[in-house]
Structure 1
Amino acid sequence: MADAFHPEALTASAPPRPVRKKFAKPPVKVACLPCRASRTRCGGQEPCSNCVFKRRECTYLPSKRGGPRKKKQKQKLSPSPSPDEELLQDAPNVAVPGPDFEESPGMFSQIDVLSLPGAGLRHLDFPQVASMFQGYFTGDADTTHVHMGNVPSPLSTTQCLVRTYGSEPEILNAYYDFIHPYFPILPPRVSPQCRDRPLQFNISPSNPSSEPFMLYRPRSPLSIAICAILALIPHPRDPEPSSPTSVLRRRNYAHSFAQLANSIIETECDLELSSTDPGQALSSVRPSVNREKLHPGTPEDLETLLALLILSVYEYSQRGNLLKMRYRAGQALALALDKSLHCCMEDSEFSEARRRAWWMTYYCVIQGSIVSTTPPTIVINDPQFTTPYPQFAADSEGWSILIQAQQVLVSATSFISDLNKSLTSQSGMHYMYERMQQLDSWTNSVLAQVDLLPMLPQEPDFGDSRETVTSGSIRAISRIKLSSAQIKTHRFRAFSDIPIFIKRHCDLTAANPSNQSIDMKQRSPSHQGHGLSNVGCSCSSLDQFQRASSAEYMTPSDSSTSSDIHPYIPQYPQFPFASGFPYSPQHSAKICLRAALTISRMFEGLPVPQPLTEGRQQQNRPLPRTMPSFACCLMQSSYAMFMIFYKARVAKQLSPDSESEIAAESTDHLVEELRRGLERIIGAVSNYSQAFEALDGMRDEIQGAYQTAFPHISV
């Protein structure tokens, strides 16, 4: 009994004070931001168990109440630390790069310390703390976009604005301004274009990772999904849209909208009997959706499906998550088949909406296969898909061309995969030769349709009601896809798929930074047919391009791009079965060059959003384009241009002295054309990355390769 009244026993047996349950601070010195925001107990690990279980980002900020941080020790030595020092202090337990991250003296030696999954995309579902050191180790201190992952600037005191809207009509109007020209899931406008009026709500930047506050909560899952995309576009009054604080706040708002849309979708797809009387759920009728339509020409039951299509692109271009991209598209496909949209032959007021819902679902499912280089989950020419194509009033063939371009591109992607298998097994090459010819013929046939501009009477297009801008954009996207298919078809024959990029981008072979100096002349014939992964090394040095016989370096008789440009394009040592290909390396290289330059011009020519704004809101910087689900075409184009650039340089070096002046003049014209094409590609991906962070990986890799190829020119 005496022990029961001992002070230590009282302390050990006393229950915790109830007052501590009121506060978000868990019994650890530093809690992660998601646990703080949700007021749950944090374990203090990195990542903590809560974040691992819920599959969310686990990030930490310095505690204002102290904690095991070195910041206080440094403040004694430096009372006023610089922003860079504070950022370094905010990243504990980050290993210092060792010898593996030292720059090798090669041509393509830029190594990204964050070799993340996602086909070269930045994957926001993984911790990005180490990316804050990128500017310190690569010397890229002049970049205009954020590279600090989840760590905001602690000294930022400016206002923080996020593009949100206060009503359904305003959200719909913004959809037509920013999304519809590239992703027309809804019928055309039914009312004139209105002034774009995002809310002027000033968000405190003191804690940009806190739970976002919504002044207006959209009613429909479609309008919520649209808001997830719109929130990524910088607010017109944001003075520092590229600051870490603004980027992080936009990211959090967009993801909150996406999660809310997913929650509503799950709720609408659920059955009440499933939880109360499961035995009767299988025979019950799915309840109808009862809410006001977002678009008068689109029934309410399609809004869930359309929201999933937008979320599919969001997962790819913003989160860098290919698995979730395909999962959302698969959900939409299941809903579309359940509603029999694939064989909808009705003619009613909702016919156009249903046709667009089906073919955009088809488009997104195929796109998921393209970017992930996986077989399509549907038969692309299934005879059961009898729903007529939608119609643009300004271009009756636009939808047909888009779907055909998508079919060609996914077929070219499958060709690359099957070619790799044939090279590995050293069998079935004759069949691959035939497929190459068929693909080339099919691509040229659809390209001929693209070149036939619509011959329709020009009528006044009030607010793009006839979708003139949208149909022109869709034609450009179709040409981009077809040109990318050309590169995929001819890439191996032209360049032997020699890798130049460190990370994997779509179906491009990734370079191995630890093995970049394989001499192709020393490879034995027994190792020459072991697949694309063993083709060679990255273009880390020109030493690999050994002098070959004069027959291997032939000058093309005609120009690839214009009458002024006569590129000297050498051939690489070929595989033993190379003579069976239906096209010569010269011919394939010229097709890749023409296609790559076409892609760069089409991306540059895509329309930029033009919302109606107040004069004082006009900014000098162009607004970002949206819905870049086809961004892999940028990588295909840049790969082809870099390979042509280095091949031309080698050809110039190996040309006889008697032809040196001719070779130099021709090479200079070609190099200048390639430089302009690469700058157009960098400009396009930089425009997209203003809003979509996952494309940072593509932008940085192309920029790094460009600066290596053209060290005296800045972009």
Structure 2
Amino acid sequence: MDAFHEGFSAPRPVRKKFAKPPVKVACLPCRASRTRCGGQEPCSNCLAKGRKCSYLPSKRGGPRKKKQRLSPSPDGEDQQNEARFPDVSADFDEASGMFSQIDDLSLPGAGLRHLDFSQANSVFPGFPSIPLDLSPLPMSNNAQSLVRLYGSELAILNAYYDFIHLYFPILPPRVTPPSPDQPLHCPLSGSGNSEPLMVYRPRSPLSLAISAVLALIPHPDDPEPASNLSVLRRRTYAHTFAQLANSIIEAESDLDLSTTDPSQALSTPRPPVKRERLHPRTPGDLETLLALLVLSVYEYSQRGNLLKMRYRASQALALALDKSLHCYTAENQFSEARRRAWWMTYYCVIQGSIVSTTPPTIIINDPQFTTPYPRFASDAEGWSILIQAQQVLVSATQFIAELNNGLSSQSTMHYMFERMQQLDSWTNSVLSQAEVLPIPLQDNDIGDCHESTTARSIRSIAHIKLSSAQIKTHRFRAFSDIPIFIKKHCDLTAATNPGSIQDNKIQGLSSAHQPHNISCSCSSLDQFQRASSAEYMTPSDSSTSSDIHPNIPQYPQIPFAPGFPYSPQQSAKICLRAALVISRTFESLPYPQPLTSSHHNRSPQRLPRTMPSFACCLMQSSYAMFMIFYKASVAKQFSPSSERDLMGDSTDRLIEELRQGLEKIIVAVSNYSMAFEALDGMRDEIQGAYQTAFPNANI
């Protein structure tokens, strides 16, 4: 027995973890697979598996620094805190490399930069999800920053009209003259993600949701608005406002009897909201619904979360239907507010289907939707054109999904031909309405004329959406959906996964045809090489997609059946015209121009536009312009020398117009991304493709 106890208590030999110490820097593939790297270039693992071996300098090094505690704590409490908050800094390099390689697997959608990396969404179970470093600029020695905060409901409402109403008019017109924009001047110190201090806490869920958007706009007195500290500050405050708004929404949706006496809850009316109205002509019970609409756009443009975007819009729809806003025909002082609440809810629900390329959750022309459109004093048809444009765009988005299915089976192509013609005719009809000069209303009871800028902006947004619908309708026919962007953006095909995108559509067909004898100009693409009479490409008379873009994989050409209603040249011409219209219209959208007060130092840089619910149109426009640029460049390169001089001037003019159009798109998306971080993903993709196409251009 003694011998047994003796053997049991004998210390075990300590085994060395590695025969030799690990290398300081491992290659990216070994980091991603969490295997030990030899440190050579290429390393033995990559050499054995035939994969590309690349290195990224490690940011690790030096001893780990423990956080200093403000007060001493007992040993047991220290151990408990360490167990609750494990140190993951040692794995950050490996995690960042891993996230960079699985980014496409975990994208929430639409190519937007995603700021939510929770444990529940971790791609690898058991591996800690670590937020990526999204800091645009390093922090300076000045450890202070300013966030756009306001000190009263009235100041928040005034800022709403300055920064949000121009693009997202959920409230009726102003009832008081505009006053100077006066964000609080409260320098904040400390780390960017520390718990924010609320100088003033908004009372309404709507004023909280509006504050979440306003906090993203750089403060006029912030000395370094693009610094790491300022961006993190704005992000933290904005999300705090959004969470507070959600908490009030949940609280107001609950019933006390649901907790104390559930048997009586179903038969008890919901108590009225006892709160001072934010807007005199908007009922207080609508503020929860309107807050959800603002939060829907916030989740899309700031956090890149399409799931939450659609969820917030669906919550608003449920409230709107519960209040019968979809069939509200009464005339009183709140009529305009209820009309705007319903049709902006409709707009956001449809927008969720557009950006996620999913079927609408409502019937877009449901006869039960009888609420009249809202009205602008300066434009009687502005709201009607906006809603029609949204209906056209969601129909064009669904057409792409149906076309994908039809190309796979080739069984419904005749229906698709008719569908394409109907869509094109519908789009042109609404476009003709949008191009007619607006007719002002004579009714003075609907508000003052300060909404004239908003009315022009809404009509421009409708024009952008209609042009985007044209590109969606004709994009496949014009360009065979050849991908040029690395990540998935809206319904555009990504270039990183060639094996699964079109292989299920056709087998053994080569990719896009090589154009010959093209005469390009700013207004005509009629001389693009016409497809064969059977409209099927064969390997002998086609080129590879790498001829158009040498850095993208070879994708098969989509086969279009005979009898297609538009030739590739006609569709390309329509896409070109629509893309240039989008770039010009974005340039003409108004910028926020709040009244200034003397003690604020206004930056000469333009303030960012807000509420970019139509950002996908930027991607559609840039895609069409890039494709036409590559077609024109290849055509000029491979044309016979006898014709090259004749077509050179017209091709150069077209390429210059495309370059200017792309620069306008980059300027527009860069302006939005000053406030909304998720749009950085779109901006980076377009800028990267632009620099590849125009390496000597400066923007």
Which of 531, 534, 543 is the aligned partner of 2:505?
531
Match in the other structure for 1:27: 79
Query: 1:563-597, CA deviations, whole angstroms, 9 ceiling, x for partnerless residues?
Result: xx668644673655432210000000000000000
| Cα distance in 2, alignment partners of residues 710 and 418 from structure 1 | 35
Against the structure 1 CA distance between its residues 420 and 612, is the aligned structure 2 distance closer, same or farther, given a 3 Å change threshold?
same
Contact 1:395 1:456 (C-alpha < 8 Å) held by counterparts: yes
Q: Deviations over 1:315-344 (max 9, x none)?
A: 000000000000000000000000000000
For residue 131 of structure 1, what is the aligned residue in structure 2?
none
Determine the C-alpha separation between the residues in 1 that align with 2:692 and 2:147.
Answer: 37
CA contact (8 A) 1:566 1:670 kept: no
Q: Compare 696-705 and 612-621 and name the one that shifted more.
A: 612-621
2:168 maps to 1:116:
no
SS at match of 2:380: coil
Q: How far does the alpha carbon of each residue in 1:458-511 deviate from its partner, in whole angstroms, 9 at most, with x for none?
A: 999xx9744100000000000000000000000000000011111010110111
Q: Residue 150 of structure 2 is aligned with which of 165, 171, 177?
A: 165
Q: Does 1:126 align with 2:117?
A: yes
Conserved 8 A contact 2:379-2:441: no
Task: From 253, 266, 279, give the equivalent of 1:269.
Answer: 253
Over the matched positions of the two proteins, sequence identity in percent amounts to: 67
Change in Cα spacing, 1:454 to 1:603, as seen in structure 2 (3 Å) is: same
For structure 2, list consecutive stretches of 5 or more residues without a partner in the other structure: 1-70, 120-131, 532-536, 538-556
Letter in 2 for 1:512: T
Instruction: Give 1:369 shift.
Output: 0.2
Structure 1 letter corresponding to 2:160: Y
Does 1:231 find its partner at 2:224? Answer: no
TM-score when normalising by structure 1? 0.77
454, 469, 479: which one pairs with 2:438?
A: 454
Deviation at 1:666, TM superposition (A): 1.1
Moved more, 119-128 or 289-298: 119-128
Give 1:299-448 correspondences, 5 Å limit. Answer: 299-448=283-432
Describe the SS at the equivalent of 1:579: coil
1:159 CA drift (Å)? 2.2
Structure 1 residues 266 and 240: CA distance shift in structure 2, 3 A = same
Distance 1:529 1:514 in 2: 8
> Displacement of 1:427 after TM fit?
1.4
Q: How many residues get paired?
A: 592
Distance 1:628 1:342, change over 3 A: same
Q: 1:648 aligns with which of 615, 618, 632?
A: 632
Instruction: Find the aligned partners of 2:335 and 2:76 in 1 and give their Cα distance.
Output: 52
Tell me the amino acid that sits aligned with residue 213 of structure 2: I
Q: Are 1:608 and 2:591 counterparts? A: yes
Separation in 1, partners of 2:360, 2:506: 22
When residues 571 and 618 of structure 1 are mapped into structure 2, their CA distance, relative to the original with a 3 A threshold, is: farther
- Counterpart in 1 of 2:28? none
Matched residue type, 1:499: P
Shift of 1:515: 6.8
Q: Which amino acid aligns with 1:425?
A: S
Structure 1 residue matching 2:79: 3-state secondary structure: coil
Pair 554,530 (structure 1): closer, same or farther in 2 beyond 3 Å: farther
Change (3 A) 1:446 1:547: closer
SS in 1 for 2:582: helix
Are the aligned partners of 2:519 and 2:651 in contact in 1 as well (CA < 8 Å)?
Answer: no
Q: Which residue of 2 aligns with 1:669?
A: 653
Contact 1:567 1:648 in 2 (8 A): no
Contact kept, 8 Å, 2:150 with 2:183, in 1: the verdict is: yes
Shift of 1:425: 1.9
Partner of 2:241: 257
- Report how far residue 194 of structure 1 moved: 0.3
The answer to whether the Cα contact below 8 Å between 1:473 and 1:607 also exists between their aligned partners in 2 is: yes
**Displacement of 1:297:** 0.3
Consecutive unaligned residues in structure 1, runs of 5 or more: 1-18, 31-40, 47-59, 61-68, 70-89, 102-110, 129-146, 517-526, 537-543
Equivalents in 2 of 1:484, 1:167: separation in Å?
A: 40
Match of 1:193 in 2: 178
What's the secondary structure of 2:206's corresponding residue? helix
Q: Report what 2:84 is aligned to.
A: 42
Partner of 1:597: 580
Match in the other structure for 2:59? none
Q: 2:199 maps to what in 1? A: 215
How far, CA to CA, are the matches of 2:143 and 2:588 in structure 1?
35
Partner amino acid, structure 1, of 2:408: T
User: SS where residue 234 of structure 1 aligns?
Assistant: coil
State the secondary structure of the residue aligned to 1:332. helix
Q: CA deviation at 1:598?
A: 0.4
Q: Distance in 2 between matches of 1:300 and 1:476?
A: 31
Instruction: Report 1:610-625 matches (<5 A).
Output: 610-615=593-598, 616-625=600-609
Match of 1:489 among 461, 473, 493: 473
Relative to structure 1, the CA distance from residue 530 to residue 405 in structure 2 (aligned partners, 3 Å threshold; closer, same or farther) is same
Name the residue aligned to 1:63: none
From the superposition, tell whether residues 535 and 632 of structure 1 become closer, same or farther in structure 2 (CA, over 3 Å): farther
Question: Contact (CA 8 Å) 1:425, 1:530: kept in 2 or not?
Answer: no
| Alpha-carbon spacing, 1:504–1:155, altered in 2? closer, same or farther (3 Å) | same
Does the Cα contact within 8 Å between 2:506 and 2:558 map onto a contact in 1? no
Write the distance in 2 (CA, Å) between the matches of 1:475 and 1:533: 44
**TM-fit CA distance, 1:350:** 0.2
Q: How many angstroms apart in 2 are the aligned matches of 1:199 and 1:471?
A: 30
- The answer to whether the 8 Å contact 2:108/2:307 transfers is no
Which of these residues, 183, 187, 191, is aligned with residue 202 of structure 1? 187
The RMSD of aligned alpha carbons is: 3.2
- Give 2:161's match in structure 1, choosing from 166, 176, 200: 176
Task: Judge conservation of contact 2:407–2:559 (CA < 8 Å) in 1.
Answer: no
Partners of 1:619 and 1:287 lie apart in 2 by 47
Does structure 2 retain, via aligned residues, the 8 Å contact 1:426–1:529? Answer: no
Query: What is the identity, as a one-letter code, of the residue corresponding to 2:505?
Result: G
Q: Tell me the amino acid that sits aligned with residue 194 of structure 1.
A: S
**1:511/1:529 Cα in 2 relative to 1: closer, same or farther (>3 Å)?**
closer
Residues of 1 paired with 2:508 and 2:456: CA distance?
A: 42
Q: Please list the CA deviations of residues 361-395 of structure 1 after superposition, one character each: whole Å capped at 9, or x if unmatched.
A: 00000000000000000000000000000000000
Shift in Å, 1:695: 0.2
Q: Distance in 2 between matches of 1:263 and 1:382?
A: 33
> Who is 2:278 aligned against?
294
Distance in 2 (CA, whole Å) between partners of 1:532 and 1:120 is 26
Alignment partners' CA distance in 1, 2:492 and 2:419: 20
Q: Secondary structure at the match of 1:406?
A: helix
CA contact (8 A) 2:519 2:647 kept: no
Q: Output the amino acid matched with 2:116.
A: D
How far apart, in 1, do the equivalents of 2:676 and 2:186 lie?
A: 22
Give the C-alpha shift of residue 314 in structure 1: 0.3
* Alpha-carbon offset, residue 426 of structure 1: 2.1
Distance apart, 1:157 and its partner CA: 2.2
2:566 to 572, 583, 594: 583
SS of 1:617's partner is coil
Separation in 2 of the partners of 1:165 and 1:508? 40
Return the TM-score normalized by structure 2: 0.79
